[in-house]
């Protein structure tokens, strides 16, 4: 298995470019199931989750061709399965995003239930009750969700809690429903806005994406689109945190300040100099890091997907800080590994108390999920000596060429077998 070998400590300096957002690209790819014509998607990141989604789409009858970071998706028209099998869903939960579009377009969908994962239970009950509100008959059998509706009918549905994937599934399904759908208490993440933009280019009529209430006028059919995926705020945020941690000077070209506002506010509070320009975001930091707590929340709150990386940063702050995780039940698995590297962190339920600054020392550490892996890489950058991050297939699911970006910034990082 591949590992990342990091020789620390490092000071990151230089310029890197943003990559396309995995969590935006995944629903955009799923939305190609709704199209009757070709969809051309630009700025698609070359990461493992995208490859998995392309395999699923191929299986479901959408031919795809990849030319660098552009993907062409063509509906084949031939009879294809309406089923997302366990083998694909188990490696990537986002396969569940095929449910809404398959059902809306073909009247039937069978998708393996994703089950729990390392960061929490992650049910899809709200995706299902939302589809039921649009007239679908949903059954759970043999570990699969089976949904049917000759034609979905617009309706009103309120998410009891905002869900990113649930909002995306419903947005796609409602775009082909008969009549008007009103979705309330929707997730407001930038990835939702990006999906609505592409659906609109395909002919959907959507109002309010990025707000709590979204109204969708369903159409009889949707065409193709040319669309460019938004920059990945989580990857960009990870490199900005790395710059602060290593007392570096890094410009992330293409990064969008509005998408990263809650992180930028914290980086400013800890004493870093954050400059937002037309080109992107530049962060410089020297001297002490001030401790500042965070509470993860749905957008526009502090993103859970940057919690682990921010905690690695707080191990270097002078004093105590609290990190509270409210989105997922089990997203502190990086803590034990950070402690093995010398961090002083105590957990009490969803609270973690970090005391710093800790002199971290390089160690062999095990990645448990995508963002936990990133936090271990960041810790490796400030640790004395050699850090080996095992199981980096987690990292490869969502970070595009991480080691080459870090190398470009002056870090000594290599991938080894």
- Based on CB atoms, which residue is closest to ligand EPU, 25 or 267? 25
What dihedral angle (degrees, nearest 10) is formed by the CA atoms of 13, 16, 18, 22? -80
Tokens of 197: 């933009």
Burial label, 139 (beta-carbon count in 10 A; 0-12, 13-18, 19+): exposed
Looking at 238, 304, 309, 373, which residue binds ligand EPU (CB under 6 A)?
A: 304
Q: Which stretch binds ligand EPU (CB under 6 A): 9-17, 131-139, 164-172, 342-350?
A: 164-172
- Based on CB atoms, which residue is closest to ligand EPU, 160 or 416? 160
Examine residue 281 and say whether the peptide bond preceding it is cis (omega within 30 degrees of 0).
no
- Based on CB atoms, which residue is closest to ligand EPU, 161 or 277? 161
Tokens of 392: 């980096």
Q: Of these residues, 117, 201, 324, 366, which one is catalytic?
A: 117
Q: Does 157 help bind ligand EPU (rule: CB under 6 A)?
A: no
Q: Does 231 help bind ligand EPU (rule: CB under 6 A)?
A: no
Q: Does 163 help bind ligand EPU (rule: CB under 6 A)?
A: yes
- Based on CB atoms, which residue is closest to ligand EPU, 233 or 292? 233
Judge whether 186 counts as a catalytic residue: no
CB of 234 to ligand EPU, least distance (A): 6
Tokens of 52: 């998995």
User: Residue 57 phi/psi, 5° resolution?
Assistant: -65, -40
**CA-CA distances (angstroms) from residue 9 to 249, 270, 364, 378, 391?**
15, 20, 15, 10, 22
Site for ligand EPU in 202-221 (CB under 6 A): none
Contact string (CB under 6 A) for ligand EPU, positions 168-207, x = contact: -------------------x--------------------
d(CA 154, CA 215): 10
CB of 341 to ligand EPU, least distance (A): 21
Look at residues 248, 249, 250, 257 and name the one whose alpha carbon lies nearest to residue 278. 257
Examine residue 417 and say whether the peptide bond preceding it is cis (omega within 30 degrees of 0).
no
Examine residue 9 and say whether the peptide bond preceding it is cis (omega within 30 degrees of 0).
yes
Looking at 61, 166, 190, 293, which residue binds ligand EPU (CB under 6 A)?
A: 166
- Based on CB atoms, which residue is closest to ligand EPU, 125 or 275? 125
Q: Which stretch binds ligand EPU (CB under 6 A): 28-36, 102-110, 162-170, 267-275?
A: 162-170
CB of 300 to ligand EPU, least distance (A): 12
Contact string (CB under 6 A) for ligand EPU, positions 26-65, x = contact: x---------------------------------------
Q: Are 329 and 347 in contact (CB under 8 A)?
A: no
Q: Are 164 and 23 in contact (CB under 8 A)?
A: yes
Sheet strands (E) in 220-328: 225-228, 249-253, 273-276, 280-284, 294-295, 319-324
Contact string (CB under 6 A) for ligand EPU, positions 357-386, x = contact: -------------xx---------------
Q: Which stretch binds ligand EPU (CB under 6 A): 9-17, 161-169, 198-206, 223-231?
A: 161-169
Which residue is at the shortest CB distance from ligand EPU? 165
13-17 and 249-253 as β-strands: parallel, antiparallel, unpaired? parallel
Q: Is the dihedral of CA 176, 179, 180, 181 positive or negative?
A: negative
Site for ligand EPU in 94-153 (CB under 6 A): 94, 120-127
Residues found near ligand EPU in the complex (CB under 6 A):
23, 26, 94, 120-127, 161, 163-166, 187, 304-305, 327-328, 370-371, 398
Residues with a known catalytic role? 117
């Amino acid at each position: 298995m591949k590992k990342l070998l990091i020789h620390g400590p490092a000071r990151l300096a230089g310029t890197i470019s943003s990559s396309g957002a995995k969590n935006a690209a995944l629903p955009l790819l799923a939305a190609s199931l709704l199209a009757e014509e070709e969809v051309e998607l630009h700025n698609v990141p070359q990461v493992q989750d995208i490859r998995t989604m392309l395999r699923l789409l191929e299986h479901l009858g959408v031919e795809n061709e990849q030319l660098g970071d552009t993907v062409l998706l063509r509906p084949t028209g031939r009879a294809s399965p309406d089923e997302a099998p366990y083998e694909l869903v188990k490696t990537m939960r986002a396969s569940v995003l095929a449910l809404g579009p398959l059902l809306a377009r073909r009247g039937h969908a069978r998708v393996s239930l994703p089950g729990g994962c390392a960061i929490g239970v992650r049910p899809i009950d709200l995706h299902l009750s939302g589809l039921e509100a649009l007239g679908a008959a949903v059954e759970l059998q043999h570990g699969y969700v089976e949904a049917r509706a000759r034609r979905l009918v617009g309706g009103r549905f309120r998410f009891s809690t905002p869900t990113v994937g649930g909002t995306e599934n419903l947005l796609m399904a409602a775009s082909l429903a008969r009549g008007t759908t009103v979705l309330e208490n929707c997730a407001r993440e930038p990835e939702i806005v990006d999906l609505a933009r592409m659906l609109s280019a395909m002919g959907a009529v959507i109002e309010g994406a990025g707000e709590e209430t979204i109204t969708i006028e369903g159409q009889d059919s949707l065409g193709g689109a040319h669309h460019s995926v938004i920059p990945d705020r989580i990857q960009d945020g990870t490199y900005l945190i790395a710059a602060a941690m290593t007392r570096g000077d890094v410009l992330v070209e293409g990064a969008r300040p509005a998408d990263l506002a809650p992180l930028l506010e914290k980086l400013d509070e800890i004493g870093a100099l954050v400059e937002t320009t037309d080109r992107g975001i530049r962060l410089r930091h020297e001297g002490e890091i001030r401790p500042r707590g965070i509470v993860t929340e749905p957008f526009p709150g502090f993103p859970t997907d940057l919690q682990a990386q921010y905690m690695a940063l707080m191990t270097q702050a002078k004093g105590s800080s609290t990190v509270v995780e409210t989105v997922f039940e089990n997203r502190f698995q990086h803590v034990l590994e950070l402690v093995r590297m010398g961090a002083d962190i105590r957990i009490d339920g969803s609270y973690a108390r970090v005391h710093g600054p800790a002199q971290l020392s390089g160690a062999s550490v095990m990645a448990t999920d995508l963002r936990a892996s990133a936090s271990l890489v960041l810790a490796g950058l400030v640790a004395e000596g050699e850090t080996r991050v095992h199981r980096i297939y987690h990292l490869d699911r969502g970070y595009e060429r991480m080691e080459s970006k870090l190398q470009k910034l002056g870090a000594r990082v290599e991938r080894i077998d």
